[in-house]
Amino acid sequence: MPAAQFQSRFADTAPQSAAPIDWVRLNDIRIQYARSRCAPRLDLFRACTMITPDPAVGLEICTDALVRCLGQALNRMPVFYRPGATTFSFDEAWLLRVLAAVQYDDHDSLTFLVARRVSPPQRRAFVRLVRLVAQNWNNDRV
């Protein structure tokens, strides 16, 4: 097949995302991140001891703890766009993929995603916080 035919055959197809973006969840995380920007940073390990897997602990509290600790887990401040933005940053997409891996019990993806960005001493605490957020997200949305 000539190169011109090959290019024209695939020129009309748009690249697809690996998974659809959960815009509602992303916007909730962005709102919580915007609220917590002026709050003091929270130590990742302290957050894990303060938050228990209690159903009374709401999604907002767990998400607040996660976004306040995310900079420590990533060893740099994450990039979050303003709520309602129609594009997303790499950090936002990564966090949504981590939450989706927890939600669907995809241990291999979760291990891969966390191992690539979170330092070894902080992985267990970070995954615990992510699991609490995913669990509370499912409880609040049922």
**pLDDT tens sequence across 114-126:** 999 999 999 999 9
Predicted confidence at residue 14, as pLDDT, reads 35
Q: Is the pTM of this model over 0.85?
A: no
Average pLDDT, the chain: 81
- The mean pLDDT of 5-17, rounded to a whole number, is 39
Question: Do 25 and 105 form a contact (C-beta atoms < 8 A)?
Answer: no
Cα torsion 92, 95, 101, 107 to 10°: value is 140
Predicted confidence at residue 75, as pLDDT, reads 93
Q: How many percent of the chain have pLDDT more than 70?
A: 77
